[in-house]
Amino acid sequence: MKKVVVSGGSGFVASWVIADFLNHGYAVTTSLRSLTKADGIKRALARYVPATALANLTFFVADLTQPDGWATGMAGADGVIHVASPLGHGTESTDELACVARDGVQNVFQAAVTAGITRIVMTSSQAASTPDSQVTGTLTENFWTDPQNPELDAYRISKVTAERTAWELAAAHHLDLTTILPGAIFGPVMTQNLSSNAILLQLLQGQPALPKVPL
As a CATH number, domain 3-205 is 3.40.50.720
Question: Helix, strand or coil for residue 112?
Answer: helix
The pTM score is 0.88
What does the mean pLDDT of the chain come to? Answer: 90
pLDDT tens string 129-161: 988 888 888 888 889 988 888 888 888 888 899
Nearest to 162 by CA among 107, 208, 202: 107
The three-state DSSP-derived secondary structure of 33-70 is: CCHHHHHHHHHHHCCCCCHHHHCCEEEEECCCCCCCCH
Using DSSP bridges, classify how beta strands 57-61 and 3-6 pair: parallel, antiparallel or unpaired: unpaired
Q: What is the pLDDT of residue 82?
A: 96
Model confidence at 28, pLDDT cuts 50, 70, 90, reads: very high
As a whole number, mean pLDDT of residues 168-178 equals 97
152 vs 172, higher pLDDT: 172
What one-character DSSP code corresponds to residue 157? H
118 vs 190, higher pLDDT: 118
pLDDT tens string 76-121: 999 999 998 876 666 778 888 888 889 999 999 999 999 999 999 9
- Residue 206 CA: distances (Å) to CA of 76, 89, 120, 203: 48, 26, 40, 5
pLDDT of 48 over the 80 cut: yes
pLDDT of 210 over the 80 cut: no
Report the share of the chain in percent with pLDDT over 90. 58
As a whole number, mean pLDDT of residues 54-65 equals 96
Q: For residues 201 and 142, give the distance between their C-alpha atoms in angstroms, rounded to a whole number.
A: 35
Q: For residues 74 and 52, give the distance between their C-alpha atoms in angstroms, rounded to a whole number.
A: 22
